[in-house]
Structure 1
Amino acid sequence: MSTLHPAPPRGPQAPVVPPSRLSIWLDVAVGALVALLCLTGGPVPSLVGDLLFACAIVFRTIRPLVGVALATLGGLVLLVVADVPTFGLVAVPLVTYAVARWSPRVLHYVTGGILAAAAIAGPLRWFGVSNPAAFLVISFTCLVTVAAAYAFGLVLRAMAISRATRARAQAEQVRHQAIQRESELRFNTAAERARIARELHDIVAHSLAVIVVQAEGAKAIAARKPELAVQTLDTIAAASRESLAEMRQMVRLLRGEEGQDADYLPTASLADIDELVERTGNATLTVNGVATPTSPAVELAAYRIVQEALTNVIKHGGPDARAEVSITHHPGLIELVISDNGRGAATTSDGMGNGIRGMGERVQLHGGRLETGPRPGGGFVVRAHLPKAGPAR
């Protein structure tokens, strides 16, 4: 099952939160109020400029470029026809703030130049000749007011960009975490499937190989030595029962029913290798060294490696092949050697076997080492080294 995780939209700059509907309606109300105040008083020639300023307030957030154009046009009208400042000039800092807050950056420079020129041209037109001191004070006040509005807009813009960037980064992090969780789930699922496949291969392949060999032997001696044929059939029955029990155990584990059945069997261990070798019928076992506590998982891996190696002897070694199994306990290490005198690597194979690969996976899983290959003088040898405690986590 696959889950799609669409990536968030990308752009050269983090998105700026657009103005809210409330702020737009507030601009409309302020623009209407400025227009009404201008209509109730003031010289008639300056009325057109004031109305243009009122319209600039209305458009300052939804269309900043239109707001700048209307404010510029209104300022030019007042510069020509008005002899004194009018109430409509309150639109200048409001438009300046809106441009800095919501407009593209290229519009900032155009607006800054226009407003800087207006902050000097207006006071010069109204106070420059008759009252130089008033010109300086008014010019400085206009510049400070416009600069403060511009800076306030830039600060809020930067805060909005920062919030949007953090939100985008968090969304990206959540997306990557979801992808990572899905990848880990797929990896764990694949690893579990591989483990189940190894277990099924080891259980079924060995049991069937023993059953086939013993059945052929029973068929050959049934007429001449019936008592041996009966003994062979008992071996076949025992191998079949054990294989069936292991299969049932695996099914219970897959269903999560371990511990619910009285027939639950313990995991195979080093102690079970003796019975495994005896049941195979063509192998001998030698144990060297002193056994020390070993991880149950490592003991199961050792059992499966011996089981698979003996299965290969039965399948590929030939009818007269004999195997020797050696278990040597070293400090912190188990050494397994399974060798035979059969055809070994010279046998014909269909290329579909998974035995050696499965042994390699088991050894690698526990941090060990596996060596396989033809034995000098004929036959095949499997040598495995397994740390008793398993790999360091």
Structure 2
Amino acid sequence: MDVDDGLRSKEAAERGGPAARRLDLAMAIALTLGTAFWGDLLASGPRRPDYAASVITSIALMMPLAIRRTHPILMTGLMTVAGLVQVVFVSSPTWSLIAIPAASYSVARFVAGHESRIVVGAGALGSVIGPLRWMSDEPLAQQGEGLLSLTAPFSALCFAWVVIPYLLGRRDRETAITREEREQSARQRYESELVRREQQTRMAEARIRNEIARELHDVVAHSLSVIIVQADGGKALARKQPEAATRVLDTISDTGREALSEMRRIVGVLRVDPESSSPDDYRPNPGLPDIATMVARAGDRVTLSITGAEPAVSATVGLTAYRVVQEALTNFLKHAGPQARARVTIIYEPTVIHIEVMDDGGIPAGSTPDAADDWPLVPDLGPGYGLRGMHERVAAMGGKLVARPTRTGGWLVRATLPLQAGKPSPRHHGPGGNQTP
């Protein structure tokens, strides 16, 4: 709804309301009773021969004010006819002329555009004819030309009697338009702010859902992969080395408990109570110190090599490093085969962490070895979320990640993470190998 529509709606409410109509009718009746029966300004009453004409024309001038809001143009026409009749049959001004400024203001206030100027034209005509008639007892046809100079000041006063209320009405109308424009702008700003906040809320919800889905994927996929591998190995050891099978069962039990604990922590974020003081709600995320334990639980086919002193990093950098190793080992356990071996290498430097997970297993379906050795394209691994999640995590920390088959038939995951999380780096190639901005 634009400003003009809003203003017209308000004016329709002001004009057509029952209270407004009753007020206008009461005002017209009161003014008629107070003015029409005086006959003229001298209050000479019935002794004047034109008293009846004065009363009738005064009623005709005052009563149209009852429709000043609902039909201002019709009011102007009725009052113009009544005024011309009064000029012809009444020789002096009457009290009913106070209806003219009220009519002029009403037309200026409630009529839009050039149509409102009709009241100025009618007032200008009356301002000339009226004084000429009142200042001469002769009929209009017998009045001399010299009378015009005598009536000019009186005509100017009568014209001001029309123009000043008209200007006041136009001012009030412009004020109402300006106020409506401000209110409309405020409504639009408020609606735009609501839309912006709703979009931000949806984006935040989508981001949180993605983060939770990524966390659940990392936890469940890795833990189940470890449990399955350990269970398969435990079946063979149960017959030959029962004590070794017991250790395998312990590993499976510990891995299951840890996965369950992490899932409780992640799900607890969805139902957290701000006033809750339960320590389970604030269990810390895994980080660099937990990588060795995770590698050990993956089995004796995985070895770990750490170079340099473990630095103090933020929780987000530590969690990213942990998840990269976790996802790489998950893919190793799922795809590399029972005879493959993997090596996890972590190098701590003053400003970055280098992580490399390489195995000598088979190449996942749909992948081809890449002859390049430095940050090659990432092959298409299908609809899975593992590699995509690793790329998103590393990019969010301002680091780099490559995941590709090796020329010897294994698989390589290499990540470089800055110790201080920086701005997300542009991902020139997503997990599907498609260029993205």
Q: Give the alignment's TM-score, normalised by structure 1.
A: 0.87
How far apart in 2 are the matches of 1:191 and 1:350? 23
Distance 1:312 1:106 in 2: 80
**Equivalent position SS for 1:15:** helix
Q: Distance in 2 between matches of 1:367 and 1:120?
A: 86
The Cα of 1:392 is off from its aligned counterpart by 5.2
Please tell me whether the aligned partners of residues 272 and 281 of structure 2 are also in contact (alpha carbons under 8 angstroms).
no
Is the alpha carbon distance of 1:259 and 1:13 closer, same or farther for their aligned partners in structure 2, counting shifts above 3 Å?
Answer: closer
SS of the equivalent of 1:85 reads coil
State the match for 1:229 in structure 2.
245
Q: For residues 281 and 162 of structure 2, what CA distance do their matches in structure 1 show? A: 88
Check conservation: 2:3, 2:177, Cα contact below 8 A.
no
Q: Decide which of 86, 90, 102 is 2:94's aligned counterpart.
A: 86
The one-letter amino acid paired with 1:38 is: A
Tell me, in whole angstroms, the C-alpha distance in 1 between the residues paired with 2:345 and 2:180: 67
Letter in 2 for 1:35: T
Instruction: State the SS of the aligned residue for 1:198.
Output: helix
- Alignment correspondent of 2:435: none
* 1:182 aligns to 2:198 (yes or no): yes
Provide the residue aligned with 1:359 in structure 2. Answer: 390
CA distance in structure 1 between the aligned counterparts of 2:363 and 2:395, rounded to whole angstroms:
23
Q: Does 1:114 align with 2:132?
A: no
C-alpha contact 1:97 1:150 (8 A) present in aligned 2: yes
Contact 2:269 2:281 in 1 (8 A): no
- Cα displacement (A) at 1:25: 4.4
| Paired residues, number | 385
Q: CA 1:322/1:190 → structure 2, altered by over 3 Å: closer, same or farther?
A: same
Letter in 1 for 2:58: D
Offset at 1:215? 1.1
Q: Deviations over 1:125-167 (max 9, x none)?
A: 4447464344110111122222211110011111112222222
1:226 maps to amino acid:
P
Equivalent residue letter for 1:237? S
Partner of 2:409: 378
Q: Aligned equivalents of 2:281 and 2:55: distance in 1? A: 100
Residue in structure 2 matching 1:69, options 61, 67, 77? 77
Tell me the equivalent position of 1:41.
Answer: 39
Q: Name the CA distance, whole Å, in 2 between partners of 1:287 and 1:214.
A: 24
SS at match of 2:239: coil
C-alpha spacing 1:77/1:265, structure 2 compared with 1 (3 Å): closer
* Deviation string, structure 1 residues 56-82 (Cα, Å, up to 9, x no partner): 222212321221121111122123323
- Whole-angstrom CA distance in 2 between matches of 1:12 and 1:375: 71
Q: Rate the CA distance shift 1:263–1:62 in 2: closer, same or farther, 3 A.
A: closer
Please say if 1:338 is aligned against 2:357. yes
Cα pair distance change 1:34/1:335, threshold 3 Å: same
Shift of 1:369: 3.1
The separation in 2 between residues aligned to 1:177 and 1:27, in whole angstroms, is 42
- Distance change (3 Å), C-alpha of 1:117 and 1:385: farther
Contact kept, 8 Å, 1:345 with 1:373, in 2: the verdict is: no
Q: Is the partner of 1:50 in helix, strand or coil? A: helix
Equivalent residue letter for 1:209? S
Structure 2: gaps spanning 5 or more residues: 41-49, 136-142, 368-379, 425-437
Aligned position for 1:3: none
Q: What code does the residue aligned with 1:150 have?
A: Y
Q: Take 1:34 and 1:259, find their aligned partners in 2: how far apart are those partners?
A: 76
Q: Measure, in 2, the Cα distance between the counterparts of 1:350 and 1:390.
A: 28
Corresponding residue for 2:24?
Answer: 27
Question: Which region of structure 1 is more displaced relative to structure 2, 254-263 or 274-283?
Answer: 254-263
Aligned partner (choices 202, 216, 221) of residue 218 of structure 2 = 202
Counterpart secondary structure, 2:364: helix
Q: Is the 8 A contact 1:34 1:87 kept in 2?
A: no
1:15 — aligned with what? 7
Q: 1:10 to 1:385 in 2, by over 3 A?
A: farther
Q: CA deviation at 1:303?
A: 0.5
The residue type paired with residue 59 of structure 2 is L
Letter of the aligned partner of 2:224 in structure 1?
Answer: L
Specify the alignment match of 2:140 in structure 1.
Answer: none
Distance 1:373 1:256 in 2: 39
Please tell me whether residue 300 in structure 1 is matched to residue 319 in structure 2.
yes
- Seen in structure 2, the aligned counterparts of structure 1 residues 375 and 350 have a Cα distance that, compared at 3 Å, is closer
Counterparts of 1:87-236 in structure 2, within 5 Å, are: 87-127=95-135, 129=144, 131-236=147-252
- Identical pairs, percent: 37
Give the drift of 1:312.
0.5
The answer on whether the counterparts of 2:3 and 2:184 sit within 8 Å (CA) in structure 1 is no
CA contact (8 A) 1:48 1:77 kept: no
For the structure 1 residues 86 and 331, does the alpha-carbon distance in structure 2 shift closer, same or farther, using more than 3 Å as the test?
A: farther
Distance 1:169 1:82, change over 3 A: same
Residue type of the alignment partner of 2:411: F
- The one-character-per-residue Cα deviations of 1:72-127 (angstroms, maximum 9, x if unpaired) are 11122123323322222221111110011112324213333222233223334444
CA contact (8 A) 1:313 1:323 kept: yes
Instruction: Give the CA deviation at 1:48.
Output: 3.1
Q: Which moved more, 1:347-356 or 1:374-383?
A: 347-356
SS of the residue corresponding to residue 378 of structure 1 reads coil
CA contact (8 A) 1:334 1:386 kept: yes
Aligned to 1:6: none
What is the deviation of 1:263?
Answer: 10
Structure 1 window deviating more from structure 2 (361-370 vs 199-208): it is 361-370
* Residues 121/191 of structure 1: CA separation in 2 closer, same or farther (3 Å cut): same
Cα distance between partner residues in 1 of 2:235 and 2:71: 97
- Check whether the contact 1:49–1:73 (CA below 8 A) recurs between aligned residues: no
The alpha-carbon deviation at position 198 of structure 1 amounts to 1.3
Match of 1:158, as an amino acid? Answer: E
